[in-house]
Amino acid sequence: MVSPKMEEALNKQINEEFYSAYLYLSMAGYFAEKNLMGFFNWLFVQYHEELSHAEKIYKYLIERGGKVNLMAIKQPDYNWKDPKEAFASVLNHEKYITSRINELMDLAETEKDRATMSLLQWYINEQVEEEANAQAILAKLEMIGDQPAGLLMIDRELAQRK
Ligand code: FEO
């Protein structure tokens, strides 16, 4: 069994992951409107990844005899000044998620809940990749400035993500 405190914290994290999915789905729509379908593709794949992050915690909670308590998902932004601002917000959001996961790990350590620590280690590793991916795209967007040719090149690259 997970403790009531851990149960509550894991339920909150399920909500954070669903919000992440919602945010990236919203952002995918923003890029589709601009006909940047490579960016759309990257974010749509990311949306599915976030759903899988939520599902992994959801299933774990059930396995440990915890009670699922789904909460309302807040409305994400739907407009950004430009692609650079959009990806700066992806990076900021992933940093925020990393901080949430670290807090969960602190709680699991305090409670000596080794099974939850093992689950969270997967998320800690995943967050390294999540931040690095967002940072790499943001760095390219910063490099090209306002050049449409550069933007189309990145768009073609992001279309490859499966
Ligand atoms: Fe589920 Fe992008 O962290």
pLDDT tens for each residue of 5-27:
999 999 999 999 999 999 999 99
- Domain holding 121: CATH number? 1.20.1260.10
Which residue segment(s) compose the domain that 138 sits in?
A: 4-158
Q: Which residue minimizes the CA distance to atom 1 of ligand 1?
A: 50
Q: Any residues with CB less than 8 A from the CB of 125 and at least 6 apart, and which?
A: none
| Mean pLDDT score of the chain | 98
Counts for the chain of helices (H) and strands (E), in that order = 5, 0
The reported pTM is 0.96
Which atom of ligand 1 is least distant from the CA of 93? 2
Centroid of ligand 1 to alpha carbon of 79 (angstroms): 20
Centroid of ligand 1 to alpha carbon of 126 (angstroms): 8
Sign for the pseudo-dihedral over CA of 119, 124, 128, 134: positive
Q: Any residues with CB less than 8 A from the CB of 87 and at least 6 apart, and which?
A: 134, 137, 138, 141
**In the chain, how many domains are there?**
1
Ligand 1 environment, Cβ below 6 A: 17, 20, 50, 53, 94, 97, 130
**Predicted pLDDT of residue 31:** 98
- How much of the chain exceeds pLDDT 90, in percent? 98
Which atom of ligand 1 is least distant from the CA of 97? 3
Residue 151 φ/ψ region, left for φ over 0, alpha for ψ in the -120 to 50 degree band, beta for the rest: alpha
